[in-house]
Structures are given as C-alpha cells and as structure tokens.
Structure 1
Amino acid sequence: MNELLYKYRSLDNFKNFVDIILKNRLYAARYKDLNDPMEGQYYYRHGELNHSVREKIRNEKGELRICSLSKVRNNELMWSHYANGQTGVAIGVRISDPNYTTENVLYNGITYVRDQDYNDQTARQILCHKLDVWAYEEEKRIFTMNEQYVKISVHEIITGRRMNTRDISLITELIEKINPNIEIIRADDIM
C-alpha cells in the first residue's frame, strides 16, 4: 500500500504521539470506543435476520479492532475535531504490513442486513457504513482481529496552525533524533 493516510492527533497525551513515532504503530480501537454513537449499528426486519446470525455479527464486531485514518491532510474540521483546534498534528503514514487492507467508509447511512446477506465480511461491512454527517472525515479503516496496533511507517508530520513555537521546536528536535527522514510540514504551507 503506497497511499499516504493521515492520523490527526492532539498532543495532550504526548506519550501516545511519541509511541507512534518511536514504534511505528497506530492504536486500533474497539468499535464501541469510537466517537460515533451509531458505530456498529445496522437495521433488520423482524423475521429476516435470525437470532444466531445476530449473535455471530455481535461477536465478530467485538473481535474486530479499527484504526481510523483520513485520506486528506488539510481538512479544517478534522484539524478542529481531532487535532485540538489546530494545536496538534496530522501524521502522514503508510501501512507497512501487506496483510492489512484498508476499507473506505461509506457515508450512505446505517446498513440493512438479512440472513441471506450474511457472510464472513458482514461485520466489517457494517462497520464501514456511517451517516453522511461524518463524510467530511474521508475515512479509511484498517481492521485487525484482536490486535491492538497496526504497523505503519511515518512519512510526514504536519504541525497545526495554532501550535506554539516551543512545541514545534520540540517535535522537530524529536523527529530529527528518532527518524530524520520524516518530513515536518507547517499546516500554513498546505492549507
């Protein structure tokens, strides 16, 4: 996978930021820990999805972990919502393990499931459907089965427009020591 994807981060938990850079990995959360309260929901009509299939879907969703990334690095709303109002960073990464696949999120609402629709990908498909109010995220997801982290390679760090110069200097110095190949970019230069 050569596509550059972005993880928007606040620096409030600096330890997590350093972990990403130092260990080349991103956290994969359980769907119930994500910020969309409708995450993992689906529709079915009484009689069209039997109890055992619903249980399989519930168990499969529970085993999956999700790493959420964005296709864009210059989205004002993403900067505001996930990078602490432009005081954080957007981390440009590539997925380094060929066993991972990225899935586009579809913003066409909650999916509808029937017995005949069920297969081994149904839980992932449910978790790739969101309401259109989330479309600004231009999200891609990486799914793992009970793995807490996704292996990545960091290629760029974009510092927010409102990040103070002290934090920019600290990040620059840190990156130069850990991996000088990572490009540091000011958000002002790309937006």
Structure 2
Amino acid sequence: MKNVLFRYSDPEKNHFLSEFKNQQIHFSTPEQFNDPFDCQMEYERTVNEVLSQKGVANKASTDILSKQLKKKLTNIGICCFCRAKKNQLMWSHYANSHKGICIGFNRNVLLSALPNVSVEDVIYQSKHPLHSIPDCMKLNSGNLLEAVITPLLTTKYSYWRYERETRLISQEFGLKDISAQSIQSVSFGLKTSEQDKAKVYDMLSLPQWKHVLIFQAKKAEHRFALEFSRIDKRKGFACL
C-alpha cells in the first residue's frame, strides 16, 4: 500500500465526513497540533542559534531573518496522513477508540489536484532538527529559511514513531479541494456505530463515490492485530 495514505476520522468531530460532503481536506496551522513541540519555535532565538553555529550571527541579520521566518511559518498549512490502516494506536487516538473510520487516499491522484503542495515523510529522532543542519552548509538569507523550515516541519520526537506520518505541506492553511477519485476506501473501526455506518453508506450512495471500497475491521484470531474484510456495499445500501 505504498501509494495509499490514510486519515483516521472521529465521528464526534465537526469535520467528520467533510472529505465526502465538500470534497475538501483541511490544512491546519502548526499551532493546532496536539504535540506542543511539533513545529514550534521562538523565532529570534532559533535564527540566532543557527547563525551562531555557523559563526555569522549579528543583530541585524537575526532581526530580519526571524521576521521572515515567522511570516512564512504563520501562513503554512499541514495535512497529516498515516501510511498504515492497521495501526491500533492511531485507531485509538485519532478515531475515537475504534469508533471512527479510516479513509484511504490514492497518493498520486490526491497530489495531482494539489499542484502547490509538497509531500514529506516525517523523520523521528531524539535530536532537535535544528541541530541536524550540516556544518558544511553555507547559510545566507536565501537558504536559511529553507534550512530551518523543512526540518522543523518534518521532524518529530522519536516517541511518535508509531504514527508513521506523511505530511502534505502548503504555503497556505485552510480548506483545499480534492478530486473524488483521490478517495479509494473507507474502513469501519471495531466499534463504529450502526448510525455512523449509515451516514457513510448514505454519502457513498452518491454517484461520484461509487468507486469507493468499504472494509470492516475485526480482531485477528490468536494475535494482537487487526484484520479487514471487504463489505458488499449493496448490503449497506439496503439498510438505508
């Protein structure tokens, strides 16, 4: 499933099924993330530390670059995905303890509708990303922002490694339109209610979603694992 990206969805959240209702995905600002260390920084101190490491720090350059960095990061939007749908911790943390759903996106089709968006797999490590800038890199006003921003947006503490996260990064936050063909599957969790399943079936009864496959999670026998079986959509539609 290298070409599939997954998003776990909580039925108690306001944006539940917005991917189907509006054909849009939301790019959040870093301030909205649940990890207080994720993408956060003190701009002036960060720039000063990086420039000091390279022996080129001075008050004027620090002030200018910190303002540029803050302006750029303030507008950036990030949409987070997972590279696995059998991730039990993700089902617990992001799909309301297995009560939600997991939406599978075709990576190539999704990106084709988002031309100004970059895609990056998150790197997990114990060292802060700003300490990983190569010593040989010659920093200037042109490349400092990229040297700082890219590692900052794509690095998390090693504790979060289980998320296996891929990020879509845009220069602007907010809602972005996607193609209906970019969504290829919906998986129900172990505890997804019949009411929420009915909402999904109702949405998928529309012609633009006829290609979307539906799966049901179940406990694997004699293993601490999840398995998924495909559901005949006709049976679900018959219950509407």
Interval containing the TM-score (normalised by the shorter chain): 0.7 to 0.9
- Residue number among 36, 60, 65 corresponding to 2:77 in the alignment: 65
Encode CA deviations 1:2-23: one digit per residue, 9 max, x unaligned.
821011110113x522321133
1:132 equivalent in alignment to 2:158:
yes
Describe the shift of the 1:130–1:27 C-alpha distance in structure 2 as closer, same or farther (beyond 3 A).
Answer: same
Relative to the length of structure 2, the TM-score reads: 0.70
Give me the whole-angstrom Cα distance separating, in 2, the residues matched to 1:184 and 1:121. Answer: 42
Aligned ranges 1:1-191 → 2 under 5 Å: 3-13=3-13, 16-41=15-40, 44=49, 47-48=52-53, 50-94=62-106, 95=110, 96-97=112-113, 99=115, 100-109=117-126, 110-112=128-130, 116=139, 118-120=144-146, 122-152=148-178, 153-177=182-206, 179-188=209-218, 189-190=227-228
State the identity as a percent. 20
Equivalent AA in structure 1 for residue 105 of structure 2: V
Describe the shift of the 1:121–1:148 C-alpha distance in structure 2 as closer, same or farther (beyond 3 A).
Answer: farther
Describe the shift of the 1:122–1:112 C-alpha distance in structure 2 as closer, same or farther (beyond 3 A).
Answer: closer
Deviation at 1:139, TM superposition (A): 0.6
CA-based RMSD: 2.5
Deviation at 1:77, TM superposition (A): 0.4
Give me the whole-angstrom Cα distance separating, in 2, the residues matched to 1:120 and 1:130. Answer: 17
Relative to the length of structure 1, the TM-score reads: 0.86
Give me the whole-angstrom Cα distance separating, in 1, the residues matched to 2:51 and 2:18. Answer: 46
Q: After TM superposition, which residue ranges in structure 1, 4 or more long, deviate above 6 angstroms?
A: none
Question: Which residue in the other structure is 2:237 paired with?
Answer: none
Say which structure is richer in helix. Answer: 2
Question: Structure 1: where are the runs of 5+ without partners?
Answer: none
- Matched residues, number: 189
Encode CA deviations 1:156-176: one digit per residue, 9 max, x unaligned.
111111112232233123212
Contact 1:89 1:160 in 2 (8 A): yes
Stretch deviating more after TM superposition (178-187 or 146-155): 146-155
